Structure 1
């Protein structure tokens, strides 16, 4: 069950809601009633949002929250209480895309996939809840948790010996990154990468920069850091995903 959600760009500010404290928001849904919503384009996740571990999260009662060009990878709990079909139980969602302009009418807007929206309902009443179309909900930020899954790096299709970009996925904890640095086998220093868009980070490389590459990640809120040693191998290829052995 892939629970996708869309938030407008102002969702970046929801981090002001402390852990364990729910705040008001609005939720809508889009796509098919039991689908994953969009393809995660604005975050750079692509079709991966319809596959494990995101889809596996859904079967465990969680959701993929699908929309925000900022804060990609952050996780939230959402719940509804004002409709008779609401279960009042929170559903966990991960931001994986950017909300269309229509979401900008509300301060905090989650545009959920049909599956995610229905997950807020009592058993057997998901269709009834979706028929409401738009709900007042509550949300709170929570740590991300992908049991048994390590951070992955999907190399951008435009990467070459002089330019390297990758989408970074499945970070536990904050879920969102403040700093990404690359260390090449041919170098003795960490090189800061630049956030290109969504979960994609990039760096220009000199001809002398040689793989394997290690990548150091630092999170936004906790400021924790981990190192994926030699995660990008010699002979790496654009479009390939390389999985590390670390997570927060």
Structure 2
């Protein structure tokens, strides 16, 4: 069993120039995720959902001003980004970065080596890579392409879930993994997320605007995020209420 605890977390985004002041985004986030749980975080644009994911992962533009993030009792905020990944945290980004000149196969093997502490044997690695690729209905030519370069929205999200299935983290933060997906791709990606959760009993923080992915990835808890914090929590039925009536009822 693993536990990710976020306690009274406050964080600000640092300015991109010297003439601006830092802007507070997170204003007291409290959330606990245990192994095997799926937590959906829903909220309007600009509420701070993606900022929460960046702060957990250690993005350098975001500064924690108070509060704690603990993974199995260890202070995540004292870890570098790579240390957080090796400790068992994973972020599927809303806008994955292109990495020209780096093949998908090279990228994934390097990531696995860093997380596991040793390089997988080549024959076993090829079997593992092909199995993950086939599970997500990804063409064989995909692994020879440069990471995210020229990828469609659906290909980028499948690649994120492919990483998830191979790295097998303790906790997965999925930031709008459903954005840009058509119906067929949404089903494939959702099946990949469910497969990870079933195979590893990992915890999932699923950030989304819409209920549609929750038709396939069933949450144990739904949290409404507004003005930098969680304002209410419920079960899966809360997503239905949000779909029907919007966020205003909770924001006010």
State TM-score, norm by structure 2: 0.25
Higher normalized helix content (fraction of residues): 2
RCO higher in 1 or 2 (8 Å CA, sep ≥ 6)?
Answer: 2
State TM-score, norm by structure 1: 0.25
